[in-house]
Amino acid sequence: MNKMTVRDIDVVGKRVLVRVDFNVPIDAKTGKITDDSRIRAALPTINYLIERHARIILLSHFGRPKGKVVEDMRLAPAAKRLSEILHEPVATVGDCIGPKAEKAVAALKDGDVLLLENLRFHPEEESGDENFAKALASLGDVYVNDAFGTAHRAHASISGIAHYLPAVAGFLLEKEINTLGALLENPDHPFTALFGGAKVSDKVAMLKNIMGKVDTLLIGGGMAATFLKAKSYSVGASAVEADIINIAGDLIKDTAKNNVNILLPVDVLVADKIDGSVKGQIVTVDKIPSCQIIVDIGPKTVDAFEKELKKSKTVFWNGTIGIAEVPQFAKATRTLAKLLSKLKARTIVGGGSTAETIAELGLADKITFVSTGGGASLEFLGGEQLPGVLALRDRI
């Protein structure tokens, strides 16, 4: 990555604004964080700044409050968890700009950590408002972006602040760019990409960009229905992106042109509704009932996928393989996640629901790298320039 990082600037005694991604899952009943991996991912940068006696001001969003204050979307639980991990206080304040925020920042001493309130309580954050970015920038001397998960958004706290302060990357952002970049530039072969999730449209650019670099594509999840439809299979009541069918067909043709092995499901689990009370049935893809929905891949497909994965030296996985939020439709996702954790290969998981599955199964330490960015990783691997990275200072 040809961008400056926090190593390249003087932070001693400085007010350092750090954009983090603390948009963590919280149990609605208990109010407790169920997966703190995004908080832990920011620790290398935070600890580096603490050790160098910076005054650390953390910025984050949480949820989608749509520009209004929503009480159960405050960042206090994240501050509490970070405090527990650091074994030192993490201050909070009721806003991210204005008199309250200014007073809290002014009270900081060297090595202190402050987490400002949810940025998205202000509609100006997502609109990239210049004055809002200026107000945030006025609280610091230096800006560090360590939020890869939102680096693809041109929000005020992502690219806006960088216009008014020296702007560099944190260690997490640097690691994300370098790790994902290596997939495109120098993967060990055989290189297998495993894709699931609901939509093909989210992944078209990435599929085209990696076509000449990957050896095998494994397609599952809801997106498999669109690919199967492109091959003239009847997919019952499964959701299909009608405007993407021809593109899916072209992608299949591109695999042949590029000598890429593509595996689509040969059998699937189907059900008449997406419901925890339904068991479903296994059918071959040429016998999907007209009234039923594909909810997971079948055992023969899992076996075929496992065979390819076991031969691989590099694996990239993005998107759950079934409707994983329903336990009985998550079998293939869980099976393949466990297999990945045992492979003697470089394994990279592309954020979002896939990363949540890895965390839930306690496998994160057995995967080479778990990205914190779902959409950001897809756009980066699709060859897109990320606003949050572009805004940072270039390395001379």
Residue 111 annotated among the catalytic residues of the structure: no
Looking at residue 112, the DSSP 8-state letter turns out to be -
Q: Which of 38, 55, 175, 203 is catalytic?
A: 38
For residues 123 and 151, the answer to whether their CB atoms sit within 8 Å is no
Query: Please, which residues bridge with residue 315 across strands?
Result: 192, 347
Residues 6+ apart with CB under 8 A from 4: 168, 169, 392, 393, 394, 395
Q: 172: how many CB neighbours lie within 10 A of its CB?
A: 26
Residue 197 annotated among the catalytic residues of the structure: no
Tokens of 43: 């620790």
Longest CA pairwise span in the chain (Å): 68
Tokens of 32: 């407790």
Q: Which of 134, 199, 366, 393 is catalytic?
A: 199
Tens-digit pLDDT profile for residues 84-96: 999 999 999 999 9
Residue 249 annotated among the catalytic residues of the structure: no
What's the CA gap between 336 and 384, in Å, rounded? 29
pLDDT 10s per residue in the chain (396 long)?
789 999 999 999 999 999 999 999 898 888 889 889 999 999 999 999 999 999 999 999 999 999 999 999 999 999 999 999 999 999 999 999 999 999 999 999 999 999 999 999 999 999 999 999 999 999 999 999 999 999 999 999 999 999 999 999 999 999 999 999 998 899 999 999 999 998 899 899 999 999 989 999 999 999 999 999 999 999 999 999 999 999 999 999 999 999 999 999 999 999 999 988 888 999 999 999 999 999 999 999 999 999 999 999 999 999 999 999 899 999 999 999 999 999 999 999 987 888 889 988 999 999 999 998 888 898 999 988 999 999 999 987
What's the CA gap between 309 and 391, in Å, rounded? 37
Q: Which of 352, 373, 374, 388 is catalytic?
A: 352
For residues 32 and 26, the answer to whether their CB atoms sit within 8 Å is yes
For residues 155 and 128, the answer to whether their CB atoms sit within 8 Å is yes
Domains and CATH numbers, the chain: 6-172 (3.40.50.1260), 179-381 (3.40.50.1260)
Residue type, 217: L
Q: Which of 67, 94, 111, 375 is catalytic?
A: 375
Q: What is the pTM of this model?
A: 0.89
Residue type, 106: A
